[in-house]
Amino acid sequence: MSLLTVGTVAFDTIETAFGKVDRVVGGAAMYIGLAASKFTTPINLVSVVGGDFPEKELKYMESLGINLDGLQIKKNEKSFFWAGKYHDDMNGRDTLVTDLNVLADFDPILPEAHKKPDYVMLGNLTPDVQMRVLDQLKKKPKLVAMDTMNFWMDVAWDSLLKTIQKVDLLLINDEEARQLSGEHSLLKAAKAILKMGPKILVIKKGEHGALLFQDKSVFFAPALPLEKVMDPTGAGDTFAGGMMGYLAMKDRLTKDNFKKAIIVGSAMASFCVEKFSNERMKELTTDMVKLRIKEFEKLVKFGAPL
Amino acid sequence: MSLLTVGTVAFDTIETAFGKVDRVVGGAAMYIGLAASKFTTPINLVSVVGGDFPEKELKYMESLGINLDGLQIKKNEKSFFWAGKYHDDMNGRDTLVTDLNVLADFDPILPEAHKKPDYVMLGNLTPDVQMRVLDQLKKKPKLVAMDTMNFWMDVAWDSLLKTIQKVDLLLINDEEARQLSGEHSLLKAAKAILKMGPKILVIKKGEHGALLFQDKSVFFAPALPLEKVMDPTGAGDTFAGGMMGYLAMKDRLTKDNFKKAIIVGSAMASFCVEKFSNERMKELTTDMVKLRIKEFEKLVKFGAPL
pLDDT in tens, A13-54: 999 999 999 999 999 999 999 999 999 999 999 999 999 999
Q: Residue A179 domain-assigned?
A: yes
Q: Which residues of A touch B217 (CB under 8 A)?
A: 298
Asked whether residue B91 carries a pLDDT value surpassing 90, the answer given is no
**Tens-digit pLDDT profile for residues B109-135:** 999 999 999 999 999 999 999 999 999
Domain that includes residue A83, residue range: 3-300
Q: Give tens-digit pLDDT for B139-177.
A: 999 999 999 999 999 999 999 999 999 999 999 999 999
- Report ipTM for this prediction: 0.93
Instruction: Note the helical H segments in B204-254.
Output: 235-250
pLDDT at B89: 82
B205, B208, B305 ranked by CB distance to A264: nearest = B305
pLDDT over 90 (residue A89): no
What pLDDT shows up at residue B300?
97
Residue B299's pLDDT is: 97
Residues in chain B: 306
Distance from CA of A103 to the nearest CA of B (A): 37
Across residues A84-90, what is the average pLDDT? 91
pTM, entire model: 0.95
Is pLDDT of B90 > 90? no
Distance from CA of B47 to the nearest CA of A (A): 30
Mean pLDDT for all residues in chain B: 97
What is the torsion angle, in degrees rounded to the nearest 10, for the CA atoms of residue B83, residue B79, residue B10 and residue B112?
A: 160
**In angstroms, what CA-CA distances link A93 with A89, A144, A238, B18, B205?**
10, 29, 18, 32, 22
* Model pLDDT, residue A31: 98
**Structural domain includes residue A306:** no
Backbone phi, psi, residue B175, to 5°: -65, -40
**CATH number for the domain that contains residue B20:** 3.40.1190.20
Residue B306 lies in a domain: no
Q: How confident is the model at residue A91 (pLDDT cuts 50, 70, 90)?
A: confident
CA of B61 vs chain A CAs: smallest distance (Å): 24
Among candidate residues A28, A39, A1, A10, the one with its CA nearest the CA of residue A293:
A39
B88 — pLDDT class (breaks 50, 70, 90): confident
B286: number of Cβ within 10 Å = 10
Q: Which chain B residues contact residue A187 at CB under 8 A?
A: 225-227
Which whole-number Å values give the CA distances from B156 to A291, B102, B162, B184, in the listed order?
43, 20, 10, 22
For A157-181, what is the mean pLDDT? Answer: 98
Question: CA-CA distance, B141 to B248, in Å (whole number)?
Answer: 11
Query: How far apart are the two ends of chain B, measured CA to CA in Å?
Result: 42
How many structural domains compose chain A?
1
- Contacting A with CB below 8 Å, chain B residues are 88-89, 184-188, 205, 208-209, 211, 217-220, 222, 225-229, 246, 256, 259-261, 263-264, 289-290, 293, 297-300, 302-306
- State the average pLDDT over residues A153-180: 98
Quote the percentage of chain A above a pLDDT of 70.
100
User: In whole numbers, what is the pLDDT of chain A averaged over residues?
Assistant: 97
Contacts of B297 in chain A (CB under 8 A): 302, 304
Of B220, B256, B304, the CB nearest to A222: B220
- The residue in chain A having the minimum alpha-carbon distance to the alpha carbon of residue B91 is A184
Phi and psi at residue B43, to the nearest 5°? -100, 115
- For residue B178, pLDDT beyond 90: yes
Residue A117 resides in a domain = yes
Adjacent-strand bridge partners of A85: A15, A94
Task: Indicate whether B305 belongs to any domain.
Answer: no
pLDDT for A303 beyond 90: yes
Residue B249 has pLDDT above 90, yes or no: yes
Q: How does strand A169-173 pair with strand A200-204?
A: parallel
**Is a pLDDT exceeding 90 seen at residue B76?**
yes
Section A186-193 average pLDDT? 97
Q: Is A166 helix (H, G, I), strand (E, B) or coil?
A: coil
In a domain, A65, yes or no: yes
Min distance A306 CA to chain B CA atoms (Å): 7
Is there a contact between A302 and B259 if contact means CB atoms under 8 Å apart?
yes
Q: Do A305 and B264 touch (CB under 8 A)?
A: yes
Q: In what order do the strands lie in the sheet with B10-16?
A: B19-26, B10-16, B81-86, B93-99
pLDDT of B37 = 98
Tell me whether residue B100 is in a domain. Answer: yes
Quick check: A201 and A170 in contact, CB under 8 A?
A: yes
Cis peptide before B111 (omega within 30 of 0): no
**What is the reported pLDDT for B83?**
97
| A305 inside domain | no
